[in-house]
Structures are given as C-alpha cells and as structure tokens.
Amino acid sequence: MTVKLRIAVRDWDYLTPLALGDIRSEKLDVIVDRVGTLVSDPGEDEAHEASEMSFSRYVSLRDEGDTSIVGIPNFIMRGFRHRCVITSVDSGITSFEQLAGKKIGVTGWRDSGNTWTRAALRRHDIGVEDAYWYAGRLTAAHPITDRLDGFGREGRIEVMPGEQPMMDALREGALDAVFTPFMPDGYFGKNAGFRQVLPDFRSAELNYFNDVGYVPGMHLMGIKPEILAEHPWVAQELSDLLDESQRMWTAKRRKYAETTPWMIDELLKCAQDLPEDWNVSGIAANEAMINDFAEELHLQGILQRKLSVEELFPFYANKA
C-alpha cells in the first residue's frame, strides 16, 4: 500500500525534481505544495501531514512540551550567515568587530537565521549586550507583526521606532546594519546603495566552516506523530526523497550551468571548498550543529536551558 503525504515547503530550487515527479517512491506518494510563508502551526495544519518549519520554532515547541510535530533531521534550508549582515554602501563598517555599540536591525529576534548570525558575531566578541537591536519589517512590503516575540528589553532590544522599514532606516543612517534572511528587492542593482558588511564574506564563511565543520541549518522538516505511529518508516523515506531530489538537481545544475554567466565558477568553487557531504541529513552527521544551535538558544537567552539532541529528536533516539 502506498502512503500519501502532502508536504508544505518553500520554493527551493532543488525540490523541483520531487515536485515534478522525477523522484518517486514505491511506498510514499509525496504531494508538494509550495508556500510563500511557512505554516504557522504544523501540528494543527489540516492540509498537510508534513511541513518545512523553523528550527528555532521547533526547539521552542520541544522545550514547551509540545509534541504535536516530530522533527526530521533533514535541514531543508541551510546557509552561512556572514553574507546576511548588510549595511549602506558608503558605511565605513567592514568587519563584525566594528558593530560594537552600533544599531542593528533584525527581522525577528528568535528566528533561526538571526540566532545563527548572532552566534557568528559572538565569535568576534560582539554579543547581545554589545550592540543595540531593533526588530522590524525589512521593507514596506512586509507586514507589521510582533517580531520581538516577548524578548524585548528597553534600551537594548526594541521595536523599530515608528515601525519604519529597516531598509529605509539603513539608507537614512538610523541603523548601522541589518540582518536579512534574503536580499531585498533591488539589492542586486548597480546603484542599490547597500552592500554586505564583510567585503570578502565568502572567505569568512569558509573559515567558519573549517572551524565548526558544518553549514548552519535554519529549517527542518516536521511531520505529524500520528503518521509515524502508523508508518514509522515514512520519516526516513521522506528524508531520502528530499536528498535524492537535491542530488538530481545538483547534477542537472552542473550540466545546465548557463543560468547565470559565472554559475560554472561558483559550482567549481563549491566543489573545491566544501566536502561532498556538506549537506548530508541525519542525526549523526548533524549532531555537532544541533548541539551548537541548542546551546546558542540558551546562551542568547531564548531558552532557559540547553536541550539535548535526544530531547529534540526522541523519535530517532528511541529507535537507537
């Protein structure tokens, strides 16, 4: 019998083979729904059996004793964060150390990406107490929502004054830098007026990888526990399909590398700089990264204690 599984994921390019049916399973019929915004409560979502979700949100649910969703250690969104710290093009800031005492905007205080970015800054002796933080919308096109999530502190971590879009504040000098998960519209234009803080962020990221041994995971897949109670094999089967889709897409991207003029150069550099298994899934391969993230959430005051790998992924611990 084939089990049907409807999943909600962002429009990641490497999931194209899975979405188009080029990757198939004899046991699992995966239906891919592409979503612009992550499902807010995957455990209560009646439309999907599995969903892409924030790693920090998942850890918080586990800390609260919420077992409505089971995390699969397949980190569907990974990325270095050094490139995500931007400033105005005429700013004199060219290092993380220069952010001491500066005003920094964030799109959400406990977002996974921002947690990893603060971790990267802390490696340069810039902790939470060493800067002034403002949470807000990136541009006017983004909604006004609660982005502090209860972690605000007067004089240290506050709402962006007047809910001003942070890119406007950065342009006007009201902010010195902004953490952004994605580059805003217009950023790639020649006269955009913004740049990465680090002129050579790629080297900084490679040094980071060589030091910690992983590319940080921001999102993972979550699946409803009732599915696993009836079909415990589904978690691994889904993870394998996601991985196979990425392998097929990578092979095709290397073959059809003319999407941008220098894509072939980027593919060559990645192959030379990173090990072939840099994005491998599973507990064993990601234990150090999972541990570090749990520790960061604790050190940054987002959680009162550090959760163990076994607490975060009990389904896999129980199987072991």
CA 293 – CA 219 distance, rounded (Å): 12
pLDDT in tens, 18-63: 999 999 999 999 999 999 999 999 999 999 999 999 999 999 999 9
Burial letters 115-154, b for 16+ CB under 10 A, else e: bbbbbbbbeeebebeebebbbbbbeeeeeeeebbbebbee
The alpha helices in 34-180, defined as continuous H runs, are 55-63, 112-122, 166-172
CA 79 – CA 82 distance, rounded (Å): 9
Whether domain 82-212 has CATH 1.10.150.20: the reply is: no
Predicted pLDDT at 318: 65
Predicted pLDDT at 52: 98
Fold classification of 3-78+217-318 (topology level): D-Maltodextrin-Binding Protein; domain 2 (3.40.190)
| pLDDT of 259 higher than 90 | no
| pLDDT of 205 higher than 60 | yes
Mean pLDDT of the chain: 96
| pLDDT of 74 higher than 70 | yes
| pLDDT of 208 higher than 70 | yes
| Strands 194-196 and 85-88, sheet pairing | antiparallel
Domains 3-78+217-318 and 82-212 fall in the same CATH topology: yes
Q: Would you place residue 1 in the very low, low, confident or very high pLDDT band (cuts 50, 70, 90)?
A: confident
Predicted pLDDT at 190: 85
| pLDDT of 132 higher than 70 | yes
| pLDDT of 320 higher than 60 | no
Q: What residues does each domain of the chain span? A: 3-78+217-318, 82-212
| pLDDT of 317 higher than 90 | no
CA 104 – CA 177 distance, rounded (Å): 5
Give me the mean pLDDT over the 299-320 stretch. 90
| pLDDT of 189 higher than 90 | no
pTM score, whole prediction: 0.95
Amino acid in position 195 = R
pLDDT in tens, 213-258: 999 999 999 999 999 999 999 999 999 999 999 999 999 999 999 8
Q: Would you place residue 311 in the very low, low, confident or very high pLDDT band (cuts 50, 70, 90)?
A: very high
What are the C-alpha distances in Å from 125 to residues 170, 197, 206?
A: 23, 16, 19
Predicted pLDDT at 224: 98
Task: Quote the distance between the C-alpha of residue 123 and its chain's center.
Answer: 19
Q: Would you place residue 319 in the very low, low, confident or very high pLDDT band (cuts 50, 70, 90)?
A: low
pLDDT in tens, 134-188: 999 999 999 999 999 999 999 999 999 999 999 999 999 999 999 999 999 889 9
Predicted pLDDT at 241: 98
Give me the mean pLDDT over the 72-100 stretch. 97
